[in-house]
Structure 1
Amino acid sequence: MSGGEALAQSFQEWLGLVQDRLTAGAKSSGAWIACGPVAGSRLIGGAHRRALDARAPRLGGTCSGDRQAIPRRKPVSPAAPASGVAPSAAASRVLGNDMDAGYHRLSIMNTLGGTMTGKAPKPAIITCAPTGAIHTPTMSPALPVTPEEIAEASLAAAGAGAAIVHLHVRDPEDGHPVQDAGLFKEVIAAVKDKSEVIINLTTGGSPHMSVDERIAPAVQLAPELASLNMGSMNFGLFPMLTRFPDLEHDWERRHLENKDIVFKNTYADIERILKLCGDQGTRFEFECYDTAHLYNLANMLDRGLVRPPLFIQTVLGLFGGTGADLEDLAHLRRTALRLFGNDFEWSVVGAGAAQLRLGSIALSLGGNARVGLEDSLWDGPGKLAESNAAQVRRIAEMARLLHRDVATPDETRRRLDLRDSVGK
């Protein structure tokens, strides 16, 4: 059995579970789901019915506490299901006939991918975050540190199918995260010389940095895309010390063990970044770690500070943010659909072991996915990933098993309304 077929086989269980979680309600009482992208649908049976029925009021039910839809946005409404796309022959052989029903159940719910309107699902936008500011060099020999390593990892990820690379940089000597515009320029020049991949610079940097430090490279270099964190949050990395007790550099332990960190992203900070970067043509990847962050973004949209199409990156599984359970993913997706209609591109980051699982589920629902060693060092239980490109190949393979093409950088630029340039 190939690696792809093995993934497809395990994905069979996910399909049924996702359907149960996303349409959770109270079939036993004859209630209809009244909110979210599956309005008017009845709960499909499953092994988790009793647990889901017990939790139905907070998952679906009457939605009495829901924010009212904004009138000028198109509401998401149910439509007659399209026929969907039959699974590939290889996948069918592995999964058996049950996959047809499971795949169809999910695909007809997909408002973002186009199946509810009878259109083929849009190609999946894959983002790779090659190094980040969370993990440390001791944790994995594959984590790129120098500008040359980060550029090489970015190019390999682009070759494997990533349309976007989300860039951080590190001190070349000991690997600690920095916001050095000169190092960013080195990476960008090396990548743009050989690839059309979209460059997405961080404005998040590290929670240990000031906002001025964090935004300086994006303001100076004017990328076509920059990340923007949509709210403040507690930020806890200390659980990783259990797995990695022996660290090479002194800074690594200080970086990880701090329990007194608030990742500061106030309304003033967000508006300042929108102004400084947006005025020079930069568009944004809105990173949302919690439901409140989606509401913050809706407020910015209502006030005319951002414009669609919005690129929303929902981040799950970091300590201090939303968890990595399927119910968490479902709630964030429902909330985004209710707030923004179809005026956004939805992508998912699953931290750690949740990366492939949640990314694949997002793809099955017509969304997009981010992978990379910033978010997860792993390629299976206890197995470190060999490279960023390996993670991109894996998620691209999952997209194809779900009959999703992989978006090119040029197509992604059109969908996100980006310019093909970096710099003023």
Structure 2
Amino acid sequence: MNDEVIITCALTGAGDTVGKSEHVPVTPEQIADSAIEAANAGAAVVHIHVRDVETGQGSRDVALYREVVRRVRESGVDVVVNLTAGMGGDLVLDDEDPLKPVDGTDLVNARDRLPHVEELLPDICTLDCGSLNFGEGHQLYVSTPDMLRVGARRVQELGVKPELEIFDTGNLWFATKLVEEGLIDAPPLFQLCMGIPYGAPPNPQLLQVMVDMLPAGAQWASFAIGRNQLPWVAESVLRGGHVRVGLEDNLYLSKGVKATNGQLVERAVRIVEDLGATVASPDTARRILGLKGAA
């Protein structure tokens, strides 16, 4: 069991959830306010995507990231900033001509996924450690081994901590190679992502297999999407990990009751403390993860 638990709140994501809950933040102001709400509720880390203000769809616009991060930093609320660097990996194929990408494709190289990280220098940014059949239809998420090596090397040069997002055991296998190749500074940070079609299913036995595959000295967290999110908080803590909640992964506090990010964090805090563990402060999280500015 983990006695000192870092809670991350994934605020909004890039999925098609805006029309499903009025609580999903869209504008930079809403996303920043949600980050502050989550931090005040007990989250040590906020994981940030941005959305196009007009359409609500996920975006890579550096100006949007800039405004969110500025608002969070100027608020005076202490929280570790974690920016996604996974946008730019979407490939949607044509049914008749699979060599022709169609609407929904947003596929760029590894360096072009990082301009907001290069400018804003967050504490943490994500690296999605493999390609994936992303749900039904013809959508793929593309992140090749050499793309990941280029991205990891650049993030390392910037002094930003990469969060290695793991969607299946093959992703984990490769991520450990990045560690072995010296492209990830100690301690490596893994996020074990469960239940995303068609990656690793939310199976506790599979989670333990993945935990057993982690390199020595690794820090790790895990989450599951949808109705499994809150039970997975306990699952992760009991197996020695940190946790993630938030509207990116789940819209509900209980059946039929839509949540805010702050409410999901509050529930996670209660679960962690009911298990007898301590919720880590931002400073404690910085120390555990080996971040810049750690006391």
Give the residue type in structure 1 aligned to 2:73: K
Secondary structure of 1:135's counterpart equals coil
Which structure 1 residue ranges, 5 or more long, are not aligned?
1-109, 114-120, 239-258
Say whether residues 1:272 and 2:150 are aligned partners: yes
Cα deviation for residue 378 of structure 1 reads 1.5
Paired residue for 2:245, among 353, 358, 371? Answer: 371
Q: Is the 8 A contact 1:224 1:420 kept in 2?
A: no
**Paired letter, 1:359:** V
Residues 211, 269 of structure 1: 8 Å contact kept: no
* Aligned length, in residue pairs: 276
Task: Compute the displacement of 1:331 (Å).
Answer: 1.9
Deviation at 1:227, TM superposition (A): 0.6
- Corresponding residue number in structure 1 for 2:209: 331
* Whole-angstrom CA distance in 2 between matches of 1:346 and 1:318: 18
What pairs with 1:313-332 in structure 2 (closer than 5 Å)? 313-332=191-210
1:196 corresponds to 2:67: no
2:29 is paired with a residue of what secondary structure? helix
The one-letter amino acid of 2:133's match is N
* Separation in 2, partners of 1:334, 1:277: 26
Say yes or no: does 1:309 pair with 2:208.
no
State TM-score, norm by structure 1. 0.63
Asked whether 1:215 is paired with 2:93, we answer: no
Report the Cα offset of residue 353 of structure 1. Answer: 1.0
Q: Does 1:180 align with 2:180?
A: no
* Aligned residues with identical type, % of pairs: 33
CA contact (8 A) 1:136 1:176 kept: no
Give the corresponding residue for 2:229.
Answer: 355
Report the more deviating stretch, 150-159 or 320-329: 320-329
Deviation of residue 209 (structure 1)? Answer: 2.4
3-state SS, counterpart of residue 376 of structure 1 = coil
User: Is the 8 Å Cα contact of residues 233 and 272 (structure 2) preserved in structure 1?
Assistant: no
Tell me how far apart the structure 1 counterparts of residues 181 and 188 of structure 2 sit (CA, whole Å): 14
Q: Quote the Cα distance in structure 2 between the aligned partners of 1:272 and 1:195.
A: 33
- Please report how far the alpha carbon of residue 377 of structure 1 lies from its aligned counterpart in structure 2 after TM superposition: 0.9
The answer to whether residue 141 in structure 2 is matched with residue 263 in structure 1 is: yes
- Given the alignment of the two structures, is residue 231 of structure 1 paired with residue 130 of structure 2, yes or no? yes
Match of 1:345 in 2: 219
**Whole-Å Cα distance in 2 between the matches of residues 411 and 216 of structure 1?**
28
The CA RMSD over aligned residues, in Å, is: 1.5
Q: Could you tell me which residue of structure 2 aligns to residue 396 of structure 1?
A: 269
1:131 matched to 2:12? The reply is: yes
1:124-183 per-position Cα deviation (integer Å, ceiling 9, x unaligned)? 100001100113311110000000000000000000110110100011122111011111
**Residue aligned with 1:262, SS:** strand
* Cα deviations by residue, 1:182-232 (Å, 9 ceiling, x for unpaired): 111111111111222011111112634223453221123222210111111
Counterpart CA distance in 2 for 1:184 and 1:220 is 10
Alpha-carbon distance in 2 for matches of 1:326, 1:277? 32
Q: Secondary structure at the match of 1:348?
A: strand
Runs of 4+ in 1 over 6 A off after TM superposition: none
Which structure dedicates a bigger proportion of its chain to strand?
2
> Is 1:408 the counterpart of 2:281 in the alignment?
yes
> Which entry has the higher C-alpha Rg, 1 or 2?
1
Mapped to 2, the partners of 1:264 and 1:415 lie a distance apart of 31
Matched residues in 1 for 2:132 and 2:196: separation? 11
User: 1:364 Cα deviation (Å)?
Assistant: 2.2
The aligned amino acid for 2:107 is: S
Q: Structure 2 matches for 1:50-89, cutoff 5 A?
A: none
Report the Cα offset of residue 344 of structure 1: 1.2
- Check the 8 A contact 1:128/1:370 in 2, yes or no: yes
The residue that corresponds to 1:250 in the other structure is none
Name the CA distance, whole Å, in 2 between partners of 1:214 and 1:377: 27
SS at match of 2:127: strand
Distance 1:391 1:154 in 2: 12
Counterparts of 1:226 and 1:305 in 2: how far apart (Å)?
A: 14
- The higher-RCO structure (CA 8 Å, 6+ apart) is 2
Distance 1:268 1:219 in 2: 19
1:294 corresponds in structure 2 to 172
Contact preservation (8 Å) 1:130, 1:373: yes
Q: Deviations over 1:301-358 (max 9, x none)?
A: 211111221111000001110001222222222222xxx12x1112011111110111
CA–CA distance in structure 2, aligned partners of residues 285 and 267 of structure 1 = 16
- 2:98 aligns with none
